[in-house]
Amino acid sequence: MKRAIILTSILTVFFFEFIYAQDDIQIGSPNANRTTTGALYDYSDPNAVNIKVQLWGYVKFSGYFIVPAGTSLNELLSLAGGPTEDATLTDIRVVKMREGSQTTMLKYDYNDLVWEQNINKQINYIRLDAGDIVVIPGEPRYFVREDIAFYLGVLTALASITALILSIISINNL
């Protein structure tokens, strides 16, 4: 009986060591009041297992997220404020980091979900795992209004200089 109690105690301590050795998994929330400082966003559930994931790229708030285990990719995008207008949603990448195994990168296409009127392709609502890195690629889009503002400023300056020169010439002719 004594051996069983000692063995159970040793095994319990041994297994808890493995649970708490995970950097990307936590049980509960580390603090009662949730803080959002820098690029750390704490959406953890104080009564559940939480995971840590990273979100990079063209979203409103990119950074390091602490979310409940089982959070999906679309839920993480919602917590980050959604994709920006420059995001390329046809090439969303999820990098799965596995200890002791090879890192894998999975690609997803959410373009139909955001920009199209109808969903033309199957959209995978994947669940994220601890340590995943989500990358939302993109590139700044070209907008004509930016060029118009620049050229309008140059044109206004040239018109002012021309008016000044004409005024000086007319005063000299008097």
Q: Where are the domains of the chain?
A: 24-141, 146-174
**Closest residue by Cα to residue 76 from 127, 130, 110, 8:** 127
User: Any long-range contacts for 44-52 (C-beta under 8 Å, 24+ apart)?
Assistant: 44/68, 49/25, 50/25, 50/26, 51/24, 51/25, 51/26, 51/128, 51/129, 51/130, 51/131, 51/132, 52/23, 52/24, 52/25, 52/26, 52/130, 52/131
Alpha helices in the chain (DSSP H): 2-20, 73-79, 111-115, 144-172
Residue 76 has a pLDDT of 93
DSSP secondary structure of 83-103? B-TTB-GGGEEEEEP-TTS--
Task: Give the per-residue pLDDT at 17.
Answer: 52
What per-residue confidence (pLDDT) applies to 20? Answer: 47
**174 residues of the chain, pLDDT tens digit each:** 667 666 666 655 555 555 444 555 666 565 555 555 568 888 988 888 999 999 999 999 999 999 999 999 989 999 999 998 888 888 899 998 877 778 888 888 887 676 666 666 666 678 999 889 999 999 887 777 777 888 888 899 999 999 999 888 888 887
CATH topology of domain 24-141: Outer membrane lipoprotein wza fold like (3.10.560)
Whole-structure pTM value: 0.60
Determine the residue type at 8: T
